């Protein structure tokens, strides 16, 4: 593959308002000076690349190829760099992020969730067929092309995390916020290929059906611990009563700890919940539950973040999970104010942890991951 050369050029675009911010970039609306056409520009600070710009450029070249080839992948229009930044210019997605859009709907059924997951999976299968692992699938990275009802869902983040997090793993887990969508093998550092995307799709599916994530815990460490042993359930029952057996089975097949036993993206596409008849899916309107839980979690996580910040200030320094914020769902635009606190109470009191607790958790995670890793290493050794 041709290695794109580093070229320093003046910017051909005028940037406008900020559309969103990720962990290592800012996305701004922009207009091409010559054509007057509007796009979105993802601005990546070179300093954050820490000498790995060549890999980013290489990845961009690959993505430039695939982004034109699938309806559910945002098209990369242009890329260039200035002295300080790298710019990825893409189509402007005017339909907003996945969850905001669902919350604005009048009703929302299991079949709607299946449609959204099918679109996402088909893009992911396409990426996988081209040897690309996204590694950062989550609702914030799924955008709608237009505000219309039948708009395409787009994967909007070009999987740069694949390059970023190899050595900056620590940075990512401590600054990204939530580990909630990460697969167990990521924490075990036992290789993370295509199966990590299918795991993330399992988490997204769970989230789309109830409004909270399966491994949501009070701290990132507890969350990682839960992920490592796939400690989740379809509870509280009241929120899962209307959800079909197929949907649960689909989630189970995604949230399988052993990546070799997990469904592939193609298997997921032909799973009964995705490919089967609509009559097999739950028929309840999920919107009230999903919206209520989403808002409740948002309130809870705001409280946890506040308590954590206070604890950090009190302890006069920055703890080991600095910069981490809780799984903080974003605002819901047409909020109806009905954020039942019942849920908030059952999810924990949001208190900060003592150092001893954190240490103990870290030990348990280390032990768990070492155990699993050793098993896997042994299996790999036997297979070789």
List binding-site positions.
42
Among 67, 72, 90, 141, binds Mg ion (CB under 5 A): 141
74 binds, among ligand ADP, Mg ion, none (CB under 5 to 8 A by kind): ligand ADP
Number of residues that bind Mg ion (CB under 5 A): 3
The CA distance from 313 to 69, in Å, is 49
Query: Is 136 noted as a catalytic residue in this protein?
Result: yes
Residue (89 or 117) nearer to ligand ADP, CB: 89
Among 157, 197, 216, 223, binds Mg ion (CB under 5 A): 157
343 binds, among ligand ADP, Mg ion, none (CB under 5 to 8 A by kind): none
143 binds, among Mg ion, ligand ADP, none (CB under 5 to 8 A by kind): ligand ADP
The stretch among 21-29, 35-43, 94-102, 232-240 that binds Mg ion (CB under 5 A) is 21-29
Q: Does 165 bind Mg ion (CB under 5 A)?
A: no
Q: How many CB atoms lie within 10 A of CB 378?
A: 10
25 binds, among ligand ADP, Mg ion, none (CB under 5 to 8 A by kind): ligand ADP
Residues of this chain that bind ligand ADP (CB under 6 A): 19-25, 27, 40, 42, 74, 90-93, 97, 140-141, 143, 156-157
Those residues with Cβ within 8 angstroms of residue 87's Cβ, 6 or more apart along the chain or in another chain = 11, 13, 41, 42, 43, 44, 78, 79, 80, 81
Residue ranges at the known binding site for ATP: 42
From 91, 100, 136, 197, the catalytic residue: 136
Residue (137 or 263) nearer to Mg ion, CB: 137
Binding site for Mg ion (CB under 5 A): 22, 141, 157
Catalytic site positions = 136
């Amino acid at each position: 593959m041709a290695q794109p050369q580093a070229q320093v050029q003046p910017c051909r675009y005028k940037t406008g308002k900020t559309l969103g911010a990720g962990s290592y970039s800012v996305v701004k609306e922009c207009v091409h000076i010559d054509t007057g056409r509007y796009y979105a520009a993802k601005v990546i600070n070179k300093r954050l690349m820490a000498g790995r710009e060549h890999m980013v450029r290489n990845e961009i070249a690959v993505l430039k190829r695939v982004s034109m080839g699938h309806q559910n992948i945002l098209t990369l229009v242009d890329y260039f760099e200035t002295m300080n930044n790298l710019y990825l210019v893409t189509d402007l997605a005017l339909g907003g992020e996945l969850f905001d859009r669902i919350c604005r709907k009048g009703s929302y059924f299991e079949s709607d969730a299946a449609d959204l997951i099918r679109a996402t999976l088909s893009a992911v299968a396409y990426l996988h067929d081209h040897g690309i692992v996204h590694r950062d699938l989550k609702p914030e990275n799924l955008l709608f092309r237009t505000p219309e009802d039948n708009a395409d869902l787009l994967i909007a983040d070009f999987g740069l995390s694949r390059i970023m997090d190899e050595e900056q793993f620590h940075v990512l887990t401590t600054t990204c916020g939530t580990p909630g969508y990460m697969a167990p093998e990521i924490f075990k550092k036992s290789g993370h290929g295509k199966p990590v995307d299918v795991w993330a799709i399992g988490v997204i599916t769970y989230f789309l059906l109830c409004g909270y994530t399966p491994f949501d815990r009070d701290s990132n460490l507890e969350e990682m611990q839960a992920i490592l042993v796939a400690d989740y359930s379809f509870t509280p029952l009241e929120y899962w009563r209307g959800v079909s057996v197929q949907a649960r089975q689909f989630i189970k097949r995604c949230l399988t700890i052993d990546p070799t036993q997990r469904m592939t993206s193609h298997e997921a596409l032909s799973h009964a919940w995705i490919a089967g008849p609509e009559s097999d899916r739950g028929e309840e309107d999920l919107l009230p539950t999903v919206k209520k839980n989403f808002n409740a979690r948002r309130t809870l996580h705001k409280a946890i973040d506040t308590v954590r910040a206070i604890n950090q200030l009190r302890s006069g320094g920055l703890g080991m999970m600095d910069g981490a914020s809780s799984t903080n769902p974003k605002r819901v635009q047409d909020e109806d104010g009905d954020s039942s606190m019942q849920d908030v109470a059952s999810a924990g009191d949001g208190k900060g942890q003592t150092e001893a607790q954190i240490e103990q958790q870290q030990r348990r995670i280390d032990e768990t991951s070492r155990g699993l890793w050793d098993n896997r290493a042994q299996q790999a050794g036997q297979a070789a």
